[in-house]
Amino acid sequence: MSGGERLVPRAHVTTTASRLLARAASAGHTDRVTLTVDEISAGALVTAPALDVRTVCVADPTEGRALATAALRDLGVAEYPCGAAMSLLASGPSPNGGPMRGAVIMDHLSGSRLEPNSERGVRVSRVDMQPEDRARVRALAASERFVDALILASKVASLGCVIADLGWSDDPEYTPGYVASAARGYERFTHLKDTGSP
């Protein structure tokens, strides 16, 4: 499990930590579970609106990837980086071809990778949603995984220097993926990979 992150008042740390640990334990086999608690001053918090969500129902990953590529192209991403990004996610973005802890940062015109460490990628952290908003989104969502992905994508889109965010889970049973951007919102495609693929 990754992306299990919360920003809570000190009084809620114990309860929230217990919930996150229970969630990790219910996720199946894990090699390691790490729980970190950091103090963040209220003055350091920055808020940003969650992206509007649109679900695009597709028959299979071929259709999903074609429509996701069209969304990326509409945002100004050149043809080569679109294909390179899809290939990297499909084969595994780490140099050895497996999953990577963080995200790839790619130039939207050349497709060059820009993250400082291609073994680890870049992590988005210190994110959450107001509890009442999280509950409202969770009630409409198919999974907590979607809520976490929306929160992460909304933070990335709010940075102003990111044109688009393409992603899907490395969970072999979870086939949806997304293209997210400040311009188009969070576009969730029901299939961007086959069942059984990482």
Does residue 167 lie within any of the structural domains? yes
Other Cβ atoms within 10 Å of 88 Cβ, number = 18
Q: Are residues 155 and 183 in the same domain?
A: yes
Q: Give the end-to-end CA distance of the chain in Å, rounded to a whole number.
A: 14
| 3 state DSSP class of 184 | coil
Quote the number of domains for the chain: 2
Q: Where are the beta strands (DSSP E) in the chain?
A: 53-56, 165-168, 177-181, 185-189
Nearest Cα neighbor of 108 from 75, 71, 67 is 75
Contact 14, 26 (CB under 8 A): no
Range of the structural domain that residue 8 is part of: 1-45
In a domain? residue 18: yes
The parts of the chain modelled with pLDDT lower than 70 are 1-3
For residue 110, the one-letter residue type is S
Q: How far is 140 from 138, CA to CA, in rounded Å?
A: 5
| 45 C-beta neighbours (distance < 10 Å), count | 10
Can you give the pLDDT at residue 6? 86
33 and 58 assigned to the same domain? no
Q: Which of 36, 28, 49 is nearest to 5 (CA)?
A: 36
Instruction: Examine residue 198 and state whether it is found in any structural domain, yes or no.
Output: no
Kindly state whether residues 53 and 41 are assigned to the same domain: no
Asked, for residue 105, whether it belongs to a domain, the answer is yes
Same domain flag for 62 and 122: yes
Q: What is the pTM of this model?
A: 0.88
Co-location of 38 and 88 in the same domain: no
62 domain-assigned: yes
Question: What is the Cα–Cα distance from 17 to 190, expressed in whole angstroms?
Answer: 31
Does residue 197 lie in a domain region? no
Same domain, 120 and 164: yes
Are 100 and 163 within one domain?
yes
Contact call for residues 176 and 67 (beta carbons, < 8 A): no
Kindly state whether residues 106 and 81 are assigned to the same domain: yes
User: Can you give the pLDDT at residue 2?
Assistant: 55
Q: In this predicted model, what pLDDT tens digit does every residue of 9-51 receive, in sequence order? A: 899 999 989 988 888 887 777 778 888 899 999 898 999 999 9
- Looking at the fold, whether 31 and 73 belong to one and the same domain comes out as no
Gap between the Cα atoms of 18 and 3, Å rounded: 16
Same domain, 165 and 129: yes
Residues 85 and 3 in one domain: no
Residue 86 lies in a domain: yes
Sign of CA dihedral 126, 132, 138, 141: negative
Q: Are residues 35 and 58 in the same domain?
A: no
